[in-house]
Structure 1
Amino acid sequence: MLWIKALHIVFIVSWFAGLFYLPRIFVNLAMEQPGATTERLLLMARKLYRFMTMLAVPAVVFGLLLTWMQYRTPQGMTMPGWLHAKLLFVVLVLGYHHACGSLLKKFERGVNKRGDKFYRWFNEVPVLLLLAIVILVVVKPF
C-alpha cells in the first residue's frame, strides 16, 4: 500500500505542476496583440495539456485504489466524512482540468474573449483546491 501511496503522491504533484503552469500560458496568450504569432505558446499549451492528462489518469487510479484498499469492509465501503469532501474536491480538480482543455480549444480557434486578468484569477483556483485537499487529508477535520 505504501508503494501505491508514493506513486499517487508523485503523480498528483506532477499533475498539479501542469495545472499551475498551463493557465500562466493562457495569461501570455491573452496578452498577445491581435495578429501576433502565438503558435509557439499554443504548441507548449497543447503538449502540456496532453502530458497533464497522462499524469491525471494514474493519479486518479492510484487514489481510487488506495481508497478501495483502505476503506473496504465485508459490508461494503465505509468512508469517513473528510474523504467524501476530499473526493468532491477531486471532482472539482477534474472539472478544472477539463475547463483548461476547453479554454485551450478556444485559443486554438482564435475565439478567446477573456483578458489576462481573468486568467490570472483562474490560475489561483488549483492552489485553493490543492490547499483544501491537503488540509482534509492531513487534518481529517470530520
Structure 2
Amino acid sequence: MGNFLADAYLWTKSFHVISIVAWMAGIFYLPRLFVRHTESVEKGSETDLLFQDMERKLLKLIMNPALISTWIFGLCLVFTPGVVDWSAGWSWIKAASVIAMTWFHMWLALRRKDFVEGKNTRTGRQYRMMNEFPTLLLIVIVIMIIAKPF
C-alpha cells in the first residue's frame, strides 16, 4: 500500500487541497447565513424556511462531503511514507487544529438544527465572533504544513 500511496501522492494532495477549499468555503459561509437568519428573519416566515433550506443544502451537499473527502485524502497523505514526521511538533499542532475545525463543523450542524426547531438562542454578534475561529485555525494549519516551524 505504501508504494501505491507514494505513486499517487500528487493526485492525493491535489484532491486534498480541492476538498479543503470546498470545506472552508462552507465553514466561512454558514455562520454568515446564521447572522442574517438571526438578525433579519422572522421565525416561521417564508424567509425563515428559505434560510433553513439554504443552510441545510450548504451543510449536506457541500460541507459534509468536503469534510469527508478532506479527511480521507488527508489520512492517505498521513499514511504516505515520508510525508508526515510525527516526531516534529508541527504535525501534532496541525492534527489538533484539524480536529478543532471538525468540531466547529459539528457545532455549526447543531446550530442549524436549532434554527429548524425554532430554538436558536445566539445573536448575530455571537455568530460573527464564532466565524473568526475557523480563520485562526486555518492560519495555524497553513503555517504548520508549509513553514513547519518546529
- Partner in structure 2 of residue 4 of structure 1: 12
Q: Which 4+ residue blocks in structure 1 deviate beyond 2 angstroms?
A: 32-37
The one of 20, 43, 49 aligned to 2:53: 43
- Partner in structure 2 of residue 128 of structure 1: 136
- What's the secondary structure of 2:79's corresponding residue? helix
- Partner in structure 2 of residue 23 of structure 1: 31
- Partner in structure 2 of residue 113 of structure 1: 121
Q: Distance in 2 between matches of 1:39 and 1:121?
A: 25
- What's the secondary structure of 2:80's corresponding residue? helix
> Per-residue displacement from partner, 1:13-71 (whole Å, max 9, x unpaired)?
11100000000110011112445431111100000011200111111111111011134
> Taking every aligned residue pair, what percent have the same amino acid on both sides?
36
- Partner in structure 1 of residue 104 of structure 2: 96
- Partner in structure 1 of residue 81 of structure 2: 70
- Partner in structure 2 of residue 14 of structure 1: 22
Give the conservation status (yes or no) of the 8 Å contact 2:37–2:51.
yes
Q: Provide the TM-score with structure 1 as the length reference.
A: 0.91
Amino acid at match of 1:125: F
Q: Distance in 1 between matches of 2:67 and 2:97?
A: 14
- Partner in structure 1 of residue 5 of structure 2: none
Amino acid at match of 1:97: H
Q: Which runs of 5+ in 2 are unaligned?
A: 1-8
Amino acid at match of 1:138: I
Q: Provide the TM-score with structure 2 as the length reference.
A: 0.87
> Per-residue displacement from partner, 1:66-117 (whole Å, max 9, x unpaired)?
0111348xxxx85122111100000000000000000000010001111110
Q: Which runs of 5+ in 1 are unaligned?
A: none
Amino acid at match of 1:94: T
Mapped pair 1:81 → 2:83:
no
Which has the higher mean CA deviation after the structures are superposed, 89-98 or 123-132? 123-132
Q: Distance in 2 between matches of 1:36 and 1:124?
A: 29
